[in-house]
């Protein structure tokens, strides 16, 4: 014990173990443009100086980090590559780097960014009218307005196309009835993109439900053991009227929802990389500082073996991310390529984080060392936007020509 009664392990935890080491073993930074490096450095600085000192408390309390969200709104990092409408100009790689760094800080912030920019804003940008884009996107880019994306239902997770939520033509618009689950920002959003089945033609379409709409109810989901600092909700739609002006004209079938999801799966791949980098860097920093049997952990062959294998996985994930984002930039990204990237990186990130937790020993379960938070959060990222198994079957169908699921 130390003079103040604390343990040596706790003293070690007060170092900069969580901060970025800038892991880039293959020198991929040289492949970035000056603007992309600018987004990387700006977001990295925000994570190291603003997020890491406080995020454990938010996570442990399951408290939404309003102060951090407000600061994000001033950094010009929210937009996910949407062109115009007050969104910061950025390439798909820049958008990915932002997602990577936010998730390196915390999965809750990364999930918030994915919902706000990758799902809600992108739905409006890709499928909305000019009037809808002008009304919502500038405020959402500044985080003056918050968005949500309501597709998932309690009975239909991976089977997302089988929607029970209905949209019945009524007067100058539609009446929405149904229930949604796991809707990020659902209790706090100013606008919710709701996907429902049009009873007149049986097609899946998207509708903008504004805050305070009669018949809209949202209940916070409690008891989560993952991404605890971002809020998901159960949503109930009971005769919610949506005017014709709040129907997304570009959303005519479920395939339009798939178009949105294909882009967000790249963001998830980058986010998984962020979690893996955080765990690897924490393990490396810890192993350099921690002494056992009279010498630093890094002097043991088994530890070096663990660290090198973790680095190999992280580097492969970086190559995946850079390539798929360049394909998106060139207009060559397919939903199957996005699925493979999401599948690979979330699976590999789980392994890297597990190795890091093992290397930290008992300290690996303490929030002070960050790894256990990433270990819990990667479980959400591994699951949402399509599980690893669903992504595997999507790619399997593509390479074999045989669908193994409906």
Looking at the fold, whether 223 and 359 belong to one and the same domain comes out as: no
Comparing 238 with 19, which gets the higher pLDDT? 238
pLDDT of residue 6: 41
Looking at the fold, whether 261 and 202 belong to one and the same domain comes out as: no
Query: How many domains does the structure of the chain reveal?
Result: 3
pLDDT of residue 123: 97
pLDDT of residue 10: 47
Weakest mean pLDDT among 55-59, 260-264, 362-366 = 260-264
* Per-residue model confidence as pLDDT tens digits over 125-161: 999 999 999 999 999 999 999 999 999 998 775 555 6
**What average pLDDT does this structure show over 45-64?**
97
pLDDT of residue 1: 35
Looking at the fold, whether 32 and 125 belong to one and the same domain comes out as: yes
CA–CA gap between residue 285 and residue 24 (Å, rounded): 15
* Per-residue model confidence as pLDDT tens digits over 357-378: 999 999 999 999 999 999 999 9
* Per-residue model confidence as pLDDT tens digits over 81-129: 999 999 999 999 999 999 999 999 999 999 999 999 999 999 999 999 9
CA–CA gap between residue 388 and residue 267 (Å, rounded): 15
CATH number of the domain at 98, please. 1.10.540.10
**What average pLDDT does this structure show over 66-72?**
96
Whether 8 is covered by a domain: the verdict is: no
Average pLDDT over all residues of the chain? 92
Looking at the fold, whether 129 and 160 belong to one and the same domain comes out as: no
CATH number of the domain at 321, please. 1.20.140.10
- Domain-terminating residue out of 231, 252, 273: 252
33's tokens: 């443009």
Domain containing residue 63 = 28-141
* Per-residue model confidence as pLDDT tens digits over 8-37: 444 455 457 888 999 999 999 999 999 999
Looking at the fold, whether 262 and 191 belong to one and the same domain comes out as: no
Whether 109 is covered by a domain: the verdict is: yes
Whether 21 is covered by a domain: the verdict is: no
- Domain-terminating residue out of 119, 141, 163: 141
Alpha helices in 62-187 (DSSP H): 66-72, 92-105, 107-113, 122-127, 130-141
Comparing 74 with 261, which gets the higher pLDDT? 74
pLDDT of residue 17: 85
Has residue 210 got a pLDDT over 50? yes
Q: Write down the pTM of the prediction.
A: 0.92
Looking at the fold, whether 163 and 96 belong to one and the same domain comes out as: no
pLDDT of residue 301: 96
pLDDT of residue 160: 58
């Amino acid at each position: 014990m130390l003079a103040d009664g604390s343990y040596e392990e706790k003293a070690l935890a007060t170092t900069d173990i969580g901060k970025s080491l800038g892991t880039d073993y293959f020198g991929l930074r040289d492949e970035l443009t000056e603007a992309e490096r600018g987004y990387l450095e700006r977001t990295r600085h925000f994570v190291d100086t603003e997020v890491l000192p406080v995020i454990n408390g938010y996570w442990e309390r399951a408290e939404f980090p309003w102060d951090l969200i407000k600061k994000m709104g001033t950094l010009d990092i929210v937009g996910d590559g949407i062109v115009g409408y007050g969104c910061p100009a950025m390439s798909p790689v820049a958008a990915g780097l932002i997602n990577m760094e936010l998730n390196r800080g915390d999965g809750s912030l990364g999930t918030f960014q994915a919902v706000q920019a990758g799902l809600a804003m992108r739905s409006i940008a890709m499928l909305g009218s000019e009037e809808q884009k002008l009304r919502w996107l500038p405020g959402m880019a500044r985080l003056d307005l918050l968005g949500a994306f309501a597709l998932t239902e309690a009975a239909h997770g991976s089977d997302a196309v089988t929607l029970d939520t209905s949209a019945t033509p009524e007067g100058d618009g539609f009446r929405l009835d149904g229930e949604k689950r796991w809707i990020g920002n659902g209790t706090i959003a100013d606008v919710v993109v709701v996907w429902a089945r049009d009873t007149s033609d049986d097609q899946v379409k998207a509708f903008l439900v504004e805050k305070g709409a009669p018949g809209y109810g949202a209940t916070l989901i409690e008891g989560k053991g993952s991404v605890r600092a971002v809020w998901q909700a159960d949503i109930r739609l009971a005769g919610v009227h949506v005017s014709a002006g709040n129907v997304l004209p570009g959303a005519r079938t479920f395939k339009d929802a798939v178009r949105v999801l294909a882009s967000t799966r790249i963001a998830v791949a980058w986010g998984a990389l962020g979690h893996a980098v955080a765990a690897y860097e924490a393990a490396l920093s810890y192993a350099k500082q921690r002494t056992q049997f009279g010498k630093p952990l890094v002097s043991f062959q088994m530890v070096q073996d663990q660290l090198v294998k973790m680095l190999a996985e992280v580097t492969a994930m970086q190559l995946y991310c850079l390539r798929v984002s360049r394909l998106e930039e060139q207009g060559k990204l397919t939903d199957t390529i996005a699925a493979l990237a999401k599948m690979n990186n979330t699976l590999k990130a789980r392994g890297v984080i597990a190795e890091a937790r093992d290397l930290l020993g008992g300290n690996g379960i303490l929030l002070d060392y960050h790894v256990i938070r990433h270990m819990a959060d990667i479980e959400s990222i591994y699951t949402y936007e399509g599980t690893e198994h669903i992504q595997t079957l999507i790619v399997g169908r593509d390479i074999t020509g045989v669908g193994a699921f409906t």
